[in-house]
Amino acid sequence: MGRQLSLKLVNADLSGLSGLHDIYVEMGVKGSSTKMKSSVCKKTKSPSWPSYDKNKITTIVKDDDVVELLVRSLKSFRADPILGVCNLKVSEIPQAATAGHEMNVRQPLLLNAEHAGHITISVSLAGQSSQPEQQPQQQPQPQPQPQPQPQQQPQPQPQ
């Protein structure tokens, strides 16, 4: 059984880039063929996406799923290069967003294991977790250690 994840793009900071880019984001659950492309923010290093349906993804996920966000630069005559990657584990979505409430989350963007900037997304996760509720484990009570008894010396018997 899955949970409903709603994720909206808010903005990104790629100020370490040289030059301005036409930036968009591909979003989807890792391993799934369903991907969504956002609208393109033209000539910027700090894109900000309007609240259009095109900038939002709603999908059913499991707790062990990973949502992948690929920040790309739109190119006319060649493949769109990746400017940054964000992998968000569903199990690590903050507790405040797991009751169906929207919450803005700022995540790092990486490119070749190097910091490439940040992306802010609005996330909401509704439904029951498929992982069992963690019950606090009781610590076993230490057993009292038997105290060594002093050895008694045999008393000489009177003759």
Provide the 10 A C-beta neighbour count for residue 104. 12
pLDDT in tens, the chain (159 residues): 688 999 999 999 998 888 899 999 999 999 888 889 999 999 999 999 987 788 999 999 999 999 999 999 999 888 999 999 999 999 988 887 877 788 999 999 999 889 999 999 999 988 877 555 444 444 445 555 555 555 555 566 665
Rounded to whole angstroms, how far apart are CA atoms 80 and 137?
50
Average pLDDT, the chain: 84
With CA atoms as reference, report the closest residue to 67 among 82, 87, 84, 91. Answer: 87
pLDDT score for 118? 96
Express each pLDDT in 11-53 by its tens digit: 999 988 888 999 999 999 998 888 899 999 999 999 999 877 8
Bridge partners of 16, per DSSP, are none
- Between the two ends of the chain, the Cα-to-Cα distance in Å is 88
